């Protein structure tokens, strides 16, 4: 398989992650926590067992019966489900899975503290098998990096698979000129072939926007941007009935208007979910008797 219009390499990963290393660690740790049940991915247990027998699941899981999944695994399960709905045979999905999850150890091992690994595994040297175990434990993969980019930069990442098994990663609506040109070129190549398209950002946003998926507030708050965390902190500081927040040109809150009355932890979680859905320049939140009754989010469109 070939990956076109998108390169996963060390320089790219470092650039993606260089903005805020402390936030990255927090986001990454939450990304690979196994907190979710297969039913929350709307996949039947029998279907999951069939996929496991076919070798479609991405990482080793020492829990009997694959009881819980991480967000990375959740996204991949949704990708399999959509590919099956679109009619892709199991063998082609296997090749897609190998592409997204097959590890080039040398590509990633510089991100680890070698001395720390030596202490952890009580060894004088680290053979490839140990590197592989460490990378799999941390769920390192091409798909993981793509999900990180969706979460951190909100890019509309999609992948296509054509009849010749070529995979193209494209970014719809990119504001980055070079990437937009590459995506346009890839889309142009698709005109003369049949293909399926999976929208990764839609799957990630669907996860955060699904009230049926259960997690605590700390989990969703970890994925918020610093400015969004400030809003949640302000809510948590006091008894608030109504919140109006406006943002200035620097993407920082400039005004927060508060009307006293208690907002519950459940409401805080709901606000965090709604903020994770996308960009905005103003938010209005209203509640009655501790429950969220109104949420207005204005989109920010940069010209």
Q: Give residue limits of the domains in the chain.
A: 3-103+141-206, 216-298
Quick one: pLDDT at residue 20? 54
Q: Which is higher by pLDDT, 258 or 269?
A: 269
Nearest to 204 by CA among 63, 88, 30: 30
Mean pLDDT to the nearest integer, 150-170: 88
Residue 16 predicted with pLDDT over 60: no
Residue 46 neighbours by CB under 8 Å, 6+ apart? none
The overall average pLDDT reported for the chain is 75
Residue 17, pLDDT above cutoff 60: no
pTM: 0.71
pLDDT score, position 225: 80
Do residues 207 and 71 lie in contact, with contact meaning Cβ atoms separated by under 8 Å?
A: yes
pLDDT digits (tens, 9 = 90+) for 57-81: 988 877 765 678 999 999 999 999 9
Contacts of 38 (CB under 8 A, 6+ apart): 44, 45, 48, 66, 69, 77
Residue in the structure block whose two tokens are 């469109």: 301
Identify the pLDDT of residue 171.
86
Strands 282-288, 240-247: pairing is antiparallel
Q: Is the pLDDT of residue 23 over 60?
A: yes
């Amino acid at each position: 398989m070939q990956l076109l219009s998108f390169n996963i390499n060390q320089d790219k990963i470092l650039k993606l992650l260089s903005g805020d290393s402390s936030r990255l660690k927090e986001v990454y740790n939450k990304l690979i926590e196994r907190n979710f049940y297969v039913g929350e991915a709307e996949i039947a247990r029998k279907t999951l067992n069939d996929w496991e027998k076919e070798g479609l699941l991405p990482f080793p899981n020492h829990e009997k019966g694959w009881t819980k999944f991480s967000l990375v695994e959740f996204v991949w399960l949704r990708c399999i489900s959509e590919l099956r709905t679109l009619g892709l045979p199991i063998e082609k999905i296997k090749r897609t899975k190998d592409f997204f999850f097959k590890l080039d150890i040398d590509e990633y091992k510089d991100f680890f503290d070698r001395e720390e690994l030596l202490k952890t595994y009580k060894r004088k040297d680290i053979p490839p098998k140990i590197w592989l175990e460490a990378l799999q434990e941390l769920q390192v993969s091409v798909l993981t990096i793509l999900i990180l980019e969706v979460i951190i930069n909100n890019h509309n990442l999609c992948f296509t698979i054509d009849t010749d098994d070529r995979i193209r990663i494209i970014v719809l609506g990119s504001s980055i000129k070079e990437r937009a040109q590459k995506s346009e070129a890839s889309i142009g190549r698709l005109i003369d072939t049949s293909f399926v398209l999976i929208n990764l950002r839609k799957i990630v946003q669907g996860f955060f926007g699904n009230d049926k998926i259960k997690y605590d507030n700390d989990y969703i708050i970890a994925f918020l941007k610093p400015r969004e965390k400030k809003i949640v902190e302000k809510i948590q500081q006091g008894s608030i009935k109504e919140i109006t927040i406006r943002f200035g040109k620097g993407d920082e809150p400039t005004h927060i208007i508060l009307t006293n009355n208690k907002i519950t932890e459940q409401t805080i979680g709901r606000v965090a979910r709604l903020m994770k859905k996308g960009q905005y320049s103003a938010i209005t939140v209203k509640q009655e008797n501790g429950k969220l009754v109104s949420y207005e989010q204005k989109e920010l469109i940069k010209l």
